Amino acid sequence: MSDATPAGRRTSVLVVGAGYAGLTTALFLAWRGIRVTLVERHPDTSVQPKAFGIVHRSMELLRQIPGLAERIAAANVLDFAAEATITIGRDLRDENQVELLVGGDDVMKELASMTPAAFGALPQSKIESVLRATAEEQGAELLFGHRLESFEQDADQVRARVRDLGSGEEFAVEADYLVAADGWQAPVREQLGIGTHGLGELWRCRTILFNADLDDLLAGRKALLTYLQNEHFSGLYSYLENAIEVFGVSGAHLLGVNYYPERGDRDEDFTDERCVELIRVATATPELEVEITDQSTFVIAHRVADEMRRGRVFLAGDAAHVMPQTGGLGGATALQDGHDLAWRLAAVLHGHAGPALLDGYAAERQEIGESTADRQLARLADRMAPHLQGKYPFPPEVPAQWEHLGYRVASAAVPGAERGRQTLLEDPATATAEPGSRAPHVLVDKDGTRMSVLDLTGRGHVLFVGSPGSGWLAAAKEAARTLDVPLPAYSLGGDLTDDTGSMLRRYRLEPGAAVLVRPDGYVAWRADEESADAAAEFGRALATVLARTAAG
Ligand SMILES: Cc1cc2nc3c(=O)[nH]c(=O)nc-3n(C[C@H](O)[C@H](O)[C@H](O)COP(=O)(O)OP(=O)(O)OC[C@H]3O[C@@H](n4cnc5c(N)ncnc54)[C@H](O)[C@@H]3O)c2cc1C
């Protein structure tokens, strides 16, 4: 909730946009007890399904909030995920459609073995409505039907003007920080004058939601998505049975038609009559009766902001990096930006971390966003846009599992992580809890319950030590007291039983070793052996990890 002031409202963090990035930021801030206000110009979360499926890493983060993973799982809509395909063809009656991807493949199986989280088989629209409800329950103030009109900032705060689109009333909001999760059009980025790089806009896709009786055509269909290429248009088609009921969208079928503004194409050209014609071509059903229920536009672009932060304003999600959908990681990158910002902002606002911790957001998320955008672009060129080959220095291909769970981070608050020495991507199956690596998922027993080590992380930083008598335990207690921060610690052989030896192996947690894990499950610091001066050494490490001076 925000406080009323004579001039308007006062909140700690003002978030603009209720997509993946904004909702995740608001949810995780509220969960940590930070006052957050989100404004979204639309009356509700999206009615367009947008990205389908929520990947393991995103679910790994969302499940930190008790009950949320179960809530998402309960909303799962696909009972054929293991057989689902993505195809490409002329139209939906084309008997020579080519399968681009087949679900339940080795990649999905390997991912499932590397994380306690399950893939969520549901569309973005459904997940966003779950995130909205959960954020509101956690105390976030979500103002739908409200638009950010303008803002200014100084060294101490951000002052914004927000319009209630229902009443037309405009009011002021003061905040410590502004998170611009305002999507691909990025009005806040524009106002800040932050430039972008990349290939830019490639084309636009007009998405048409419609209802029609296509039962004969779709019986037994297992394709989540079919890319269409014929002499009339190129685009995509998606259908799921019961889409209206389970997704909360207005039409069961979605046709996306690519168009090119530089050739004079405009949104207004998609009249209902033209859309019906296009749908008849896509379905190869000339007399089909069609009801158009909604239209929207999304941009196929490769555009990365030059900066993700200007003063007290942060860019998150598509506002910072728009990427082609090929690979399905655009939505995930947005959600993970939101999670990253939330734990950093909360740590700073609670006084646990120094403001310099926020520098790590841009340092870490910029290179991950950039790499993901480049890789999605490379897949676009490979699968359906050969004319892009040679137009951009695509990064070398890596296994999909690396892109999902193998990103490494490097910033000033991760002592020992160096981009020069460490590559941006690694194999998550063999990663061994180095500073900057994602902490591996291993099963341990705690109080008689089997659980993933990752389930002990989330709210704040957590320390794991190799033995109950470790000198790092007392050092951590002392450092946490000095810096006045919570720091739960778990010892192998004491709090945790590692029957299989997998924690010892994957974390290299010998009796004298210690591993400090961040709220996002990344290793912030490690020691391989006991220290003669553990108190001083750990005190310095924790101060660095929290961007605090050694004294404060
Ligand atoms: C039809 C469609 C299909 C897609 N398919 C895929 C896919 O298959 N795979 C994939 O990875 N990605 C896909 N994407 C992209 C993916 O959905 C985005 O990457 C993701 O939504 C980005 O989340 P975000 O929170 O950054 O932005 P968005 O979800 O775009 O949210 C931004 C929000 O900000 C709001 N806003 C903007 N300005 C203001 C303002 N001034 N005041 C208040 N509110 C404002 C907007 O109304 C919007 O709700 C698709 C997108 C669309 C539209």
Q: Report the relative pairing of strands 443-446 and 449-452 from DSSP bridges.
A: antiparallel
Domain contains 315: no
From residue 184, give the alpha-carbon distance in Å to each of 19, 280, 304, 322, 323.
11, 30, 10, 6, 9
pLDDT per residue over 224-236, tens digit each?
789 999 999 999 9
Domain contains 344: no
Domain contains 447: yes
Closest-CA residue, ligand 1 atom 44, reads 40
- In this prediction the ipTM stands at 0.97
Q: Give how many domains the chain has, as a whole number.
A: 1
User: In whole angstroms, what is the distance from residue 427 CA to residue 110 CA?
Assistant: 11
Domain contains 57: no
| Catalytic status, residue 227 | yes
**CA 503 – ligand 1 centroid, Å:** 39
C-beta of residue 111 within 8 angstroms of C-beta of residue 427: no
C-alpha Rg value of the chain to the nearest Å: 24
User: In whole angstroms, what is the distance from residue 362 CA to residue 350 CA?
Assistant: 20
Q: Which of 325, 384, 403 to mutate to test the pocket of ligand 1 (most atoms within 8 A of CB)?
A: 325
- Joined tokens for residue 453: 């080590």
What is the identity of the amino acid at 194?
A: I
User: In whole angstroms, what is the distance from residue 497 CA to residue 390 CA?
Assistant: 53
Q: Is 135 helix (H, G, I), strand (E, B) or coil?
A: helix
| Domain CATH for 464 | 3.40.30.120
Q: Report residues whose beta carbon is within 6 angstroms of any ligand 1 atom.
A: 16-22, 39-42, 48, 50-52, 124, 147-148, 181-183, 187, 207, 296, 298, 317-319, 325, 328-331, 334
**CA 49 – ligand 1 centroid, Å:** 10
Domain that holds residue 524: 439-545
Please report the pLDDT score of residue 488 as a whole number. Answer: 98
Q: Using CB atoms within 10 A of its CB, is residue 53 exposed (0-12), middle (13-18) or buried (19+)?
A: buried
Domain contains 450: yes
Please report the pLDDT score of residue 288 as a whole number. Answer: 96
pLDDT at 551 over 50: no
pLDDT at 72 over 70: yes
Phi then psi for 11, rounded to 5 degrees? -140, 170
**CA 120 – ligand 1 centroid, Å:** 18
pLDDT per residue over 411-467, tens digit each?
999 998 888 888 999 999 999 999 999 999 999 999 999 999 999 999 999 999 999
**CA 184 – ligand 1 centroid, Å:** 7
Domain contains 266: no
Q: Using CB atoms within 10 A of its CB, is residue 333 exposed (0-12), middle (13-18) or buried (19+)?
A: buried
Domain contains 207: no
Compute the mean pLDDT over every residue in the chain, rounded to the nearest whole number: 92
Domain contains 501: yes
Which ranges in 291-329 belong to alpha helices (H)?
Answer: none
Q: Report the relative pairing of strands 514-517 and 462-465 from DSSP bridges.
A: antiparallel
pLDDT at 250 over 80: no
| Matching residue, tokens 């308007």 | 8
Q: Can you tell me which atom of ligand 1 is nearest the CA of 333? A: 19
User: In whole angstroms, what is the distance from residue 12 CA to residue 494 CA?
Assistant: 40
Q: Residues 227, 239, 259, 507: which is the catalytic one? A: 227
